[in-house]
Structure 1
Amino acid sequence: MPHEISTPVSRRSFIQHTMIGAAGMGLGLTAMGQRERRKLGVALIGLGGYSTGQLGPALRETKFCELRGVVTGDAAKGRRWARDYGFPESSVYHYDTMAAIADNPEIDIVYSVTPPGLHLRDVLAGAVAGKHVICEKPMAVSVEECDQMIAACEAAGVQLSLGYRLHFHPYHQQVKTFAAEQAWGGPIKMSGGFGYRMGSAWEWRVDKALAGGGQLMNTGIYVIQSALMAKGEMMPVAVTAHEPPKTRPEYFNEVEETINFTLEWADGSRLEGTSSGVQGSNDFEAVAPDHRVRMAPAYSYDRLRMELDREPQPPLDGFFQQAAQMDAFAASLLNGQQTILPGAMGRRDMQIITAIYEASRTGKRVTLT
């Protein structure tokens, strides 16, 4: 039976959809705020570049949570954060003393912003302290670690959420809406890449023990997430992958430099993805019988651009992805609801990443369940 061809998404309809989507996100928050509630307190674990440049500033903009503590190995830096963000120096913790967060009633959520190899330590510490947890991507360095995190948070009765900021950007929400409404009209041909030329100085992203892998863990996960959003979070059935010869083997001596991968779904949908530490890319495209979506840039913190059915969509510059992400988690906690980014999602993504590495190592197609 032939499917009905939908009309292209116009600029006006996209604006209307964006406003409705934003209102929809806000309805739960507004309902939650009908009676006076205090903001939930967040403690950032790790004060590196992402905390400094993104999460800290986002927490100045959030409506339902605010920064009330930090965990750092640099006490002087921690005291500066306390002064800048207006929380007491007694809420500055060292990694060795963060168990004491359990005694701080002002902190409701801990956010692990350390390298992936340390996420297990942070999440377990948060769970033991009885605090809800946000874990930055990727969730861990193995599926087994994901299982430990999920079990610890379930045993402690706290929620575990992931730092997947793009789920809250209206462009990516449009992709999710097409999936939810089964509006693609058939299998989707997808392509995407995220990479940049890394410098020559050592950083944790080329240390396998800390990073768990190379750019697949760091940037490729965004491409995987885009495809999963387009497929309604449906697990692919198989992956293939390969690594081109390294151009900087002295620098990428523990992790991959570039990796190309293919995800396959049972209905014939496919993703051709890439991530790299030497080649620049920042794009995602999904082509199906009824709709075509292209985003470039697709994964940046701001100034994303989108075409729907070849029609440029209005810029949404200034949309604070991290503030929306953290507010959504706070709202779910205040409303007694489950996060839309649970630990099970991070575990699934680690399964896919593990399969990609196996396919690259063996040169064989790897099936997924």
Structure 2
Amino acid sequence: MSRRRALQSLALAGAAAALPRRTAAATPARRLGVALVGLGGYSTDLLGPALRLTRHCRLAGLVTGSPHKIAKWQETYGVPDAAIYGYDDIHRIADNPDIDVVYIATPNHLHKPLTLAAANAGKHVWCEKPMAMDAGEGEAMIRACRDNRVQLAIGYRMQHEPNSRRFMEMARTQPFGGIVQLRADAGWFGWRQGADDAWRLDPARGGGAMYDMGVYCVNASRYSTGLEPVAVRAWDETTRRDIFQGVDETMRFTLEFPGDITAACVTSFGRDLNTLHVDCERGWYELSPFQSYDGNVGRASDGTRFTAQLGASPRMQAEQMDQDALAILEARPPRAPGEEGLRDMRVLDAAFASARSGGERVRIAG
């Protein structure tokens, strides 16, 4: 069995072990109650509005470390007092049968403790990317969800986007021949500096471009090849050390895949970057932008055009949540289970180690 197939088998086995406890009563007609954990910009601007567009979900609770935000959410969505929790008492969510799933959209350092609390409360978990601070935390999250027989899905919204899924299929069918190399760049200049985003400059909370944007490059490189990288070289190219103290402003890294395929990647808080380009033996194809909230479009060397599919934001988040809800209701693995996030964490761990060494080649744990 190939390394790739073995990894896929392990992922499916792990996801299958996390099927819901009460599958007999679950039907696709049921709308799952979702509690949003973390009421920052992503929840406020995208997840909350997206829940109003979903067919299989509904907003059923709030978990926040910022009590001053609650009144506005209650005014907008009508969430009752009994369905509001803090980070310190999230365990009480076990007593609320209206909540089936928690969606964790907090700074990265809170992903593990909140996932463990939710899983131990018997709730399914949807967690934003990156899933954790390192692979060890990711393994603990997977184990907790498996032991409590709840699903863990990682918020890889691009894996629910039609053009990205078309790239996944092209990795399998290879319409332009074998893949030779690819490039994935993700970055945005002028990062948000509001109170909700201060953590992006804090190493203790998972700040920096690699955690925030680099994971798009890593995940896209993996799903565009259908392969797992074996090694990485990375270089921290931070120039504004007065602002980015202890976190990376810009990271350049190269992933090595089986078959001598390479992925050249750049992620940055100092440059606007948003392209996924795949070179093959007999042509090429790309998406640019490839990880925006909407309008992800592209082209190929034979004249093919990849047009936007889902409509305006937040349709992508609604599609993601609906697909993850159906996975629970139909008792099947989600598109991006915890094991998918864990593979990216192993790449990030190796990339950070390489960057600390000045770009030495580091093998990725398998």
- Normalising by structure 1, report the TM-score: 0.86
- 2:362 aligned residue: 366
After alignment, is 158-167 or 356-365 more displaced? 356-365
Q: What amino acid maps onto 1:240 in structure 2?
A: R
- 1:55 aligned residue: 47
- 1:235 aligned residue: 228
Contact 1:200–1:251, Cα closer than 8 Å, also in 2: no
Distance 1:35-1:243 versus aligned 2 partners, 3 A rule = closer
Q: What RMSD over aligned residues (CA atoms) do the two structures have, in Å?
A: 1.9
What does residue range 171-320 of structure 1 map to in structure 2 within 5 Å? 171-199=163-191, 201=193, 203-211=198-206, 213-232=207-226, 234-244=227-237, 246-309=238-301, 310-316=303-309, 317-318=311-312, 320=315
What does residue range 29-178 of structure 1 map to in structure 2 within 5 Å? 37-178=29-170
After alignment, is 201-210 or 213-222 more displaced? 201-210
Contact 1:214–1:256, Cα closer than 8 Å, also in 2: yes
Q: What amino acid maps onto 1:242 in structure 2?
A: W
Q: How many residues get paired?
A: 334
Q: What amino acid maps onto 2:43 in structure 1?
A: S
- 2:20 aligned residue: none
**DSSP 3-state at the match of 1:267:** helix
| 1:301-339 C-alpha deviation (Å, 9 max, x unpaired) | 012221133433333342611111111111011111111
Q: Does 1:349 align with 2:344?
A: yes
Q: What amino acid maps onto 1:254 in structure 2?
A: G
Identity %, equivalent residues = 38
> For residues 75 and 41 of structure 1, what CA distance do their matches in structure 2 show?
21
Contact 1:79–1:92, Cα closer than 8 Å, also in 2: no
Distance 1:291-1:330 versus aligned 2 partners, 3 A rule = farther
Contact 2:28–2:326, Cα closer than 8 Å, also in 1: no
Contact 1:71–1:78, Cα closer than 8 Å, also in 2: no
Contact 2:28–2:56, Cα closer than 8 Å, also in 1: no
Contact 2:294–2:308, Cα closer than 8 Å, also in 1: no
| 1:65-90 C-alpha deviation (Å, 9 max, x unpaired) | 11110101233422332332233221
Distance 1:354-1:184 versus aligned 2 partners, 3 A rule = farther
Q: What amino acid maps onto 1:353 in structure 2?
A: L
Distance 1:337-1:209 versus aligned 2 partners, 3 A rule = same
Distance 1:291-1:323 versus aligned 2 partners, 3 A rule = farther
Distance 1:39-1:199 versus aligned 2 partners, 3 A rule = closer
Contact 1:102–1:130, Cα closer than 8 Å, also in 2: yes
Contact 1:75–1:92, Cα closer than 8 Å, also in 2: no
| 1:33-53 C-alpha deviation (Å, 9 max, x unpaired) | x97732000001100000011
Contact 1:73–1:94, Cα closer than 8 Å, also in 2: yes
> For residues 107 and 290 of structure 1, what CA distance do their matches in structure 2 show?
51
Distance 1:36-1:133 versus aligned 2 partners, 3 A rule = closer
> For residues 134 and 200 of structure 1, what CA distance do their matches in structure 2 show?
24
**DSSP 3-state at the match of 1:78:** helix
> For residues 184 and 157 of structure 1, what CA distance do their matches in structure 2 show?
42
> For residues 162 and 136 of structure 1, what CA distance do their matches in structure 2 show?
6
| 1:54-106 C-alpha deviation (Å, 9 max, x unpaired) | 11111010000111101012334223323322332211111122111100000
Contact 1:169–1:321, Cα closer than 8 Å, also in 2: yes
Contact 2:256–2:262, Cα closer than 8 Å, also in 1: yes
Q: Given the alignment, which residue of 323, 328, 332 partners 2:327?
A: 332
**DSSP 3-state at the match of 2:133:** coil
Contact 1:187–1:268, Cα closer than 8 Å, also in 2: no
Q: What amino acid maps onto 1:210 in structure 2?
A: R
